[in-house]
Amino acid sequence: MNIPLSAPDIREEDIAAVAGVLRTPRLSLGPKLEEFERAIAGYVGAGHAVGVSSGTAGLHLSVRALGIGPGDEVIVPSFAFIAVANVLRYEGAIPVFADIEPATLNLDPGRIEAAVTPRTKAILVVHTFGCPAELSEILEIARRHHLCVIEDCCEALGAEYDGRKVGARADVGVFGFYPNKQITTGEGGMVVTGDPRLASVVRALRNHGRADSDDWFQHSELGYNYRISEMNCALGISQLKRIEAILARREEIAGKYTEKLRGNETLRLPTLAVPRRKISWFVYVVRLSGSLSQIHRDWIVKEMNRRGIGCGRYFAPIHLQPAYQSAPALQSGLGVTEYEASRALALPFFNRLRDEQIDEVCGNLCELIQPDSSS
Ligand SMILES: Cc1ncc(COP(=O)(O)O)c(C=O)c1O
């Protein structure tokens, strides 16, 4: 690819930080883990943070630690990465897919409330593409119905709702650091919570069920190896030091795309500003409008890729995935999800994307969305 869809932003200081760990005897469960946990907790304003091997591992342990189990229903978007529903199935819980709002592509609070039943145990809310969901309303629905709330912040490090960073308002928040994220650890994740009991349960579960008071071969409960290595943590610490510059550059890139593509009637562009929220830009996703349908979208993706420009559909709804065709999951009216997902198109988006590359992407896209270009 001349211009990939995504690319990590690794600097010399990141490499030196990782190499530094390799010169020590502690490669796991050491000082870098503690430092990274403290750094993320401080950054998002959470009381406790527990480093884990991925965002998915963090979501899974959050579900376990909240006592969500067989037959419990959890309301979740289908317009999301598949892990948000998989982690429920790992525990025998039932994903209940609710529809989204077209403007922000986040869970629609009205649809959440309509999906609540006596079996509902929790809401798993995703801050889609780094734009915070309607948190106040969602937390209020949860309070009224005595539900837990998990914030999936895997795409939203640094995003804010009412001036507070996402992740620290619900029962638990989960971050992910895969290489396409705002900061990366290669693979890695972080669970944040204000509840010390929950934090210590997650801490034990990530380490084979070994509680702080257990010795190395004592396991209080069934756990997992969801640990994150010291090398991953050193990379995360180093990257987090640049977070303000990273977020600013990503916001600038989103602004430049909008400047270039504004006025094109066949495209609906992502909203740059949403009341009460600060977006932490994860991806720049445009939606085709009017007569352009999924067939055009899929053709454009293919043609952009053929021209060396990374481009992808983002997201494919979970309820339409083969892995969910006979899965125990519930849904009610996912019309917005299906419509928006069929027309969504992610453009190259990463810190080091240069202005002339943005011009090249937009030039090619505009050429391809001419009314009869695919015929
Ligand atoms: C919204 C969301 N949740 C969960 C995940 C899973 O994170 P990971 O890939 O670190 O397991 C992702 C990943 O990319 C994501 O975008």
Distance of alpha carbon 152 from alpha carbon 139, whole angstroms: 14
What was the pLDDT predicted at 194? Answer: 98
Query: Tokens 């798993």 appear where?
Result: 124
**C-alpha distances in angstroms, 160 versus 133, 307, 361?**
10, 37, 29
84 CB less than 6 Å from ligand 1?
A: yes
Report the residue among 53, 54, 56, 283 best suited for mutation to probe ligand 1: largest number of ligand atoms under 8 A from its CB.
56
56 CB less than 6 Å from ligand 1?
A: yes
Instruction: List, run by run, the mean pLDDT of 10-residue segments along the chain (375 residues).
Output: 94 98 98 98 98 98 98 98 98 98 97 97 98 98 98 98 97 98 98 98 96 85 97 98 98 98 94 96 94 88 97 94 93 94 97 97 94 60
What was the pLDDT predicted at 52? Answer: 98
Distance of alpha carbon 21 from alpha carbon 196, whole angstroms: 29
Distance of alpha carbon 319 from alpha carbon 82, whole angstroms: 9
What was the pLDDT predicted at 292? Answer: 78
Average model confidence (pLDDT) for the chain? 96
What was the pLDDT predicted at 375? Answer: 54
DSSP conformation letters of 27-65? -BSSHHHHHHHHHHHHHHT-SEEEEES-HHHHHHHHHHH
The pTM assigned to this predicted structure is 0.97
- 181 belongs to the catalytic site: yes
Helix 355-368 × helix 294-306 angle, to 10°: 130
**C-alpha distances in angstroms, 22 versus 10, 11, 131, 225, 330?**
17, 17, 37, 21, 47
Task: Decide: 244 and 278 in contact? Cβ < 8 Å.
Answer: no
Active-site residue (options: 121, 181, 260, 278): 181
Q: Which amino acid is at 227?
A: R
pLDDT tens digits along 107-138? 999 999 999 999 999 999 999 999 999 999 99
pLDDT tens digits along 193-251? 999 999 999 999 999 999 888 888 889 899 999 999 999 999 999 999 999 999 999 99
Nearest CA to ligand 1 atom 5: 55
